[in-house]
Structure 1
Amino acid sequence: MTGSRSRETAAEREKELCGHAPRGRSLCLAPSGLSGWKSSGDSGRVRRRSRSGPPAAGGLHGGESEGRGLCAQRNIQMTAAGRTGQLTAVRGPAPRRKARPVAMLLRRKLCAAVLVAAVLLLMLASQSIHRRHFLPMLMAPPITQAPPISTNFEIKPTEPPAIMKLNPPIKILAEQEEQQKEKEDNATKDQPVLYVQNQQRQCGCSGSCVSELGGSDWFRKRYDPKQEPLLAENISGVEPAALQWWLGLQRSGGDVTLEDVMSQMFQVISPPSLDTKPLRSRCRSCAVVGNSGNLRESGHGERIDSHSFVIRMNKALTRGFEKDVGNRTTHHFLYPESAVDVDGGVSLVLLPFKLRDLEWLTSALSTGHIKTTYMRVKERIQADKDKVLVVNPAFFKYVHDRWTEHHGRYPSTGMLAIVFALHVCDQVSVFGYGADREGNWHHYWEKNRHAGAFRKTGVHNADFETEIIQQLAIEGKITLHR
C-alpha cells in the first residue's frame, strides 16, 4: 500500500508540474534545480542522483505555478524499466529547432533566382546580336532581281521533255547580241531620228536651245538639223530636185550654168566661214529685226543690240530710230532689188531667188557691169568681200516645203531670215514682224501707215507666215516681241 501511494503521489505531483503525459513519453517539466531523479517501483521512493546546484527561483519551493514555469526549461525523459515499473528521469540538454534545412532552402532559392537572372541576360544578349547583325542582312534587297512575270501567256499541252544540247555560254551570248543588233537595225531603218530626253545639252545657254528637239512635236516635224543654210563652193551637195525647183522660181536669160556662175562668184568672195553648228561651250543669241511699223515707239533698241547676232534685212534703217531698233548690225539680208551698202564688219547675206542674182553679186563687188535683173538694180555695193554669205538654193526649197507648206510661190525674206536664225543661233528673238497696233502693214520708216507694202507682193502669203511665227513663239523656239 505504501508503494502504491507513493507512486500515486509521484504521478499526481508529476501532473501538477508538467501536465499529464503517457508513460514512456518525454516530459517537458522538471525543477530547474534537479539534475536527475529515479523512481523505483519496489520502494516507491524517489532518489536524487545528482544536483547541479541550489534550486532556481522557480524550483519546487516556489509552488505549483512556479513549478509549471520551470517545466519549459528542462526536458525529462521517462522510461519504464521492466515489470518493476521503475521510472527513470535523465536530465539532458533541451532539443533545439533545426535551422539547417531552412538555410539550405534559402540557398536553393537564391541559386534558382541567380540562374533565372542569368538566363534572362543571355536571352537579351542574343536578341541584341540578332538585331544588330542578322536582321539587316535579312532586310537587305537581293543582289539580283527576277525579271517581271508577264501575264500574257498561253497554256500549251504538256510535251515530253526533250534532250537539250547546251552550247558554250560565250557562243550563246554572241548569238543573242547579233540577233538584238539585227532587230535594232531593222527597227530604225528608214525612220526619222527621235529626240532623246536625256541627251546632252546642245549649247551653253542657261535656257533651252533651238537645236534641242524635245518638247515640241510640231517643231520636230519641220526642223531638219541636217540642212546646210549656206552655199559652199562644191555644188554637189545640193539636191537635184531642189536645184531644179529653185531655177524655176524666176527665169534668167542666157546660157550660163550654175557651176560657171558659182566658179566666178567664189573668185570674188571667200568661201563661208560661219560656224552654223551649235557648241556646248557657246550660247549664241540672235535678234531678227523685221521692218514692221510696230517697232515705232517700242523702245527695243538696247535689247536688240544686246544679242550676239543682229540680223536686219532689205532697206532697213537705223539712223534716227536707234531707240526703237538699235544701231548694231552683224548680218544684213538682201537681194539685188533691195540692195544697200553694208558697213565694214557686217556680213552681207544674199538671198538668191534666181541665177541672175548670183551673177549680180559678182558684178556688184567687182566690175559693176550688171545694171538690171527684171528691174533696175544697184550697180555697185559696198561690203566686206570676206564676210559675204550666200543662202543655199536648197534651203529655199526646205523652207517652202517644211515651213510655209507651199503657201505662196516662195517664202518671204523675213521668213527665210527667221528659219536661217533657227539653224545658226542657239536662242532667237524676233522684233518688227506683223501689223502695227492699228492693224496696218507698213515699214517703220514710212510716214504713210496705210501703204500696205507687205501685202502688195502676190508671191508671199503674209497671213500664213504670221501664223507660223506665232506658233514658233508658242512652242518656245523664239521670243516674239511686239
Structure 2
Amino acid sequence: MSLKIVKIWFIRVVPVVLFFISYYYTQFFLQSNAGTARSLTSSKTVCDSWMRSRRWESLNLNVTRKTSLFLKLADFFWQQPQSTLPLPYGIKGSELFLLKVLAVTASYEMPTSIEKLNNAPVRGYEDDVGNKTTMRLFYPESASYNPSLHNDPDTIMVLVPFKQHDLRWLKEILYDEKRVRKGFWKPPPQIWLGHTSQIRVLDPFFLKQTASALLRIPLQPKRNQRPVHPTTGILAVYMALNYCDVVHVAGFGYPKFRDQKQPIHYYGHETMKSMKDSNHDLPHEAEALKRLEDAGAILYLHPHS
C-alpha cells in the first residue's frame, strides 16, 4: 500500500472515528448527568424527609402514628387495660354506657379510600373547603338533629365524649329511651337522625394526647381550678397528624383571638365572645397552631393575618 493511499484512508476514516467517539462520549455525559439528576432528586427527597423529621422532633409532639381512632367492643374491653382516667381523657366510670353504645354501633375503622379529613359544613362553602366530609366530630351540644343537612349520607359521625352525659345521651338516642335533659350546657337534640352504621366513638387517647403533647395543658386541674379541654378543631388537626406528614387547613385558627368580634367559624355568626366562659384555652391553641405552621406540619389553604 502506497503512502498516498494510506493518507486518503486516514483522512476518510478519522472523522468517522471521531464522530463515534464524540457520540458515545455525549451519550455517556447525558446518561451521567441524568444519573446525577436522579441522585440529586433522591438526595433532595432524603434531605426533605430529614428536615421534616428534625422539625417534628423540635415540636416534641410524641405523635405515635396510632391510627385506630375509634373504640371497639371486640378488642377494647377484653384486651386493653382499664383506663385510670375519667372522661374526656379516659373511660373510667363510663364503662357501662360504652358497653351499651358499642354493642349497637359499627366497629369499622377509617375507610381505606380516605383522601380528605373535614369536620365542618361544606354545602355552600365548596369553593373554600371542598365538597366532601369524610368524618365529622361532634358532641351532643354541637349535634344537628339531621346530620345529612350539612354532610353526605356516608359521612362518619364521630362522638367526642367530653363527659359521661354525652355517652348517656347517645345511648338514649340509640335505644330510644327517655331523654334526660340535665347535664348539658346547651340543650342537645332530643331527636337525632344519624344512622347507626355511621356512628363511631372516639378513643379518648387522642384528646388526651392533644391536651398533653400538643397544648401542654394539665389533664387533672388543681382544686378550685376550672378544667381546660381542647376544642374539637385542634383535636381534628392532631388526629390528622397521625395520618399525614402535612395537614392542609381551611377556615380554622385564631389569628385575632383577642378580638371579641372575631368569628370563630367560617360559617354561622358566633364570635369569640361566645367562647369567653368556655373550658377552652384559645391562646394556647393559637400558639400551638403557630408552632405547627412554622414547622411545616400544617399549611393554610388561604392566607391569614
TM-score range, shorter chain: 0.5 to 0.7
- Structure whose alpha-carbon radius of gyration is higher: 1
Q: Secondary structure at the match of 1:312?
A: coil
Q: Secondary structure at the match of 2:236?
A: helix
Matched, 1:268 2:104: yes
Question: Shift in Å at residue 362 of structure 1?
Answer: 2.5
Alignment of 1:28-427 (within 5 A): 213-226=53-66, 228-233=68-73, 234-235=76-77, 237=80, 240-243=83-86, 246=89, 257-274=93-110, 308-313=115-120, 317-340=121-144, 341-343=146-148, 344-367=153-176, 369-375=178-184, 376-406=187-217, 409-425=228-244, 427=246
Q: Secondary structure at the match of 1:349?
A: strand
- AA at the equivalent of 2:84: A
Distance in 2 (CA, whole Å) between partners of 1:437 and 1:395 is 27
Distance in 1 (CA, whole Å) between partners of 2:136 and 2:199 is 10
- Correspondence for 1:470: 290
Q: Secondary structure at the match of 1:241?
A: coil
Classify 1:240/1:437 alpha carbon distance in 2 versus 1 (closer, same or farther; 3 Å): closer
Classify 1:429/1:454 alpha carbon distance in 2 versus 1 (closer, same or farther; 3 Å): farther
Classify 1:347/1:363 alpha carbon distance in 2 versus 1 (closer, same or farther; 3 Å): same
* TM-score, normalization by structure 2: 0.65
Higher helix share: 2
- AA at the equivalent of 1:268: V
Contact 1:243 1:393 in 2 (8 A): no
Contact 2:87 2:164 in 1 (8 A): no
Contact 1:430 1:480 in 2 (8 A): yes
Classify 1:332/1:245 alpha carbon distance in 2 versus 1 (closer, same or farther; 3 Å): closer
- AA at the equivalent of 1:312: N
Higher strand share: 1
Classify 1:363/1:219 alpha carbon distance in 2 versus 1 (closer, same or farther; 3 Å): same
Contact 1:363 1:380 in 2 (8 A): no
Question: Shift in Å at residue 446 of structure 1?
Answer: 3.5
- AA at the equivalent of 1:475: A
- AA at the equivalent of 2:139: Y
* TM-score, normalization by structure 1: 0.43
Classify 1:244/1:382 alpha carbon distance in 2 versus 1 (closer, same or farther; 3 Å): closer
- Correspondence for 2:267: 445
Classify 1:239/1:420 alpha carbon distance in 2 versus 1 (closer, same or farther; 3 Å): farther
Q: Secondary structure at the match of 1:333?
A: strand
Please list the CA deviations of residues 21-49 of structure 1 after superposition, one character each: whole Å capped at 9, or x if unmatched: xxxxxxxxxxxxxxxxxxxxxxxxxxxxx
Classify 1:453/1:364 alpha carbon distance in 2 versus 1 (closer, same or farther; 3 Å): farther
Identity %: 23
Question: Shift in Å at residue 268 of structure 1?
Answer: 1.9
Structure 2 gap segments, 5+ residues each: 1-44, 219-226
Q: Which has the higher contact order (CA 8 A, sep 6+)?
A: 2
Question: Shift in Å at residue 419 of structure 1?
Answer: 0.7
Please list the CA deviations of residues 60-83 of structure 1 after superposition, one character each: whole Å capped at 9, or x if unmatched: xxxxxxxxxxxxxxxxxxxxxxxx
Contact 2:247 2:297 in 1 (8 A): yes
Report the number of matched residues.
Answer: 235
Distance in 2 (CA, whole Å) between partners of 1:476 and 1:395 is 21
Classify 1:374/1:232 alpha carbon distance in 2 versus 1 (closer, same or farther; 3 Å): same
Q: 2:253 is matched with which residue: 430, 434, 438?
A: 434
Question: Shift in Å at residue 464 of structure 1?
Answer: 1.2
Contact 1:365 1:381 in 2 (8 A): no
Classify 1:323/1:216 alpha carbon distance in 2 versus 1 (closer, same or farther; 3 Å): closer
Classify 1:403/1:454 alpha carbon distance in 2 versus 1 (closer, same or farther; 3 Å): farther
Classify 1:223/1:378 alpha carbon distance in 2 versus 1 (closer, same or farther; 3 Å): same
Contact 1:242 1:393 in 2 (8 A): no
Q: Secondary structure at the match of 1:240?
A: coil
Question: Shift in Å at residue 206 of structure 1?
Answer: 12
Contact 2:71 2:201 in 1 (8 A): yes
Please list the CA deviations of residues 161-205 of structure 1 after superposition, one character each: whole Å capped at 9, or x if unmatched: xxxxxxxxxxxxxxxxxxxxxxxxxxxxxxxxxxxxxxxxxxxx9
Question: Shift in Å at residue 241 of structure 1?
Answer: 2.9
Contact 2:141 2:188 in 1 (8 A): yes
